[in-house]
Amino acid sequence: MQNRYIFFDADDTLWENECFFREAEDRFVELLSGFAPDDEIRCSLAEAQEENIPVFGYGSKTYLIGMADCAVKICGEKFNSTIYKGINKIIRRLSHHEVHVIDGVRETLESLYGRYRLAVATKGDLREQLGKFRASGLEGFFHHIEVMENKDKRNYAAMARKLDIAPEEIIMIGNSVKSDIAPVIKLGGTAIHVPHEIIWEHEKMDMPESVNIFEAGNIKEIPKILDFIDLLAQ
């Protein structure tokens, strides 16, 4: 199966991500704690994010804009340079956090490398995602990385064309049902769900029904599941 591609999600599949955004949110809530209750701040920030993602995409820069929009709404005329500088400090810390590879990822990639062609399928800010990829130390395992505008049917199909494979040949591994599982299943591909303990509300959706979806307890189970998938394909 050396010519078969296996796609891996990046954030919260290969390395930790959402926990750092949660920490940033907590700092933001603390920054505005004198202006509104915590729940109101969190709700307003989530609404700002949902409004801004279609315009600015994903990543910490969009989070900066969302925090600024939320702060203007919450603080009104009391919004000032001190608050903005506080937001900027939060985002700078978020953008420059150390990359923490998830336990078992390296061993899993080592066992798959040479048996398959491995590719990263992620979304977000190009510079930010490539920076994390290089800092992870996992670059040598992968034949290709694709930073998509959004992880939907159209973008997965485009990635498949770029790699000269049929959409139904996609095998995608990731933690998000919305981004990693559902669109691949719609294309007729295969998906392996590796749950993460923290899921961003924006990424939550019900799991679709399909015989082409496999559940892994953790990333270390991937080689065994791929062996089973290969056996079914014979």
Cβ-proximal residues to 226 (8 Å cutoff; 6+ apart), any chain: 6, 112, 116, 171, 192
For residue 192, the domain's CATH number is 3.40.50.1000
- Per residue in 60-70, pLDDT (tens digit) is 899 999 999 99
Range of the domain at 228: 5-16+100-233
**Do 77 and 151 reside in the same domain of the chain?**
no
Both 143 and 69 in one domain: the answer is no
DSSP line for 4-60: -EEEE--BTTTB--HHHHHHHHHHHHHHTTTTS-HHHHHHHHHHHHHHHHHHH-SSH
Judge contact between 112 and 138, C-beta under 8 A.
no
Q: What is the mean pLDDT of residues 186-190?
A: 97
Task: Read off the pLDDT of each residue in 183-202 and give the average, rounded to a whole number.
Answer: 93
Using the structure block, give the residue that is written with the tokens 């959706």.
205
State the total domains in the chain. Answer: 2
Residues 122 and 212 in one domain: yes
One domain, residues 163 and 79 = no
pLDDT average, residue stretch 153-168:
96
Q: How much is the pLDDT for 57? A: 87
Secondary structure of the chain: what % helix, strand, coil (to 5)?
55, 15, 30
pLDDT at 179: 95
Please state the rounded mean pLDDT for residues 178-195.
97
Q: Are residues 229 and 212 in contact, defined by beta-carbon separation less than 8 angstroms?
A: no
- State how far the Cα of 123 lies from the Cα of 58, in Å rounded to an integer: 7
Choice among 86-95, 155-164, 197-206 with the minimum mean pLDDT: 197-206
Final residue in a domain of this structure, among 43, 70, 95:
95
Q: What is the pLDDT of residue 1?
A: 54
Query: What is the tens place of the pLDDT at every residue in 10-53?
Result: 999 999 999 999 999 999 999 999 999 999 999 999 999 999 99
Per the prediction, the chain carries an average pLDDT of 94
Confidence at residue 220, expressed as pLDDT on a 0 to 100 scale: 97
pLDDT at residue 234, as a whole number: 72
pLDDT at 102 over 90: yes
Res 71: pLDDT:
97
pLDDT for 2 equals 58
**For residue 191, what are the β-bridge partners?**
172, 213
The reported pLDDT for the residue numbered 95 is 86
Regarding whether 9 and 80 lie in a shared domain, the answer is no
Same domain for 64 and 22? yes
Residues 212 and 132 reside in one and the same domain: yes
Same domain for 133 and 203?
Answer: yes
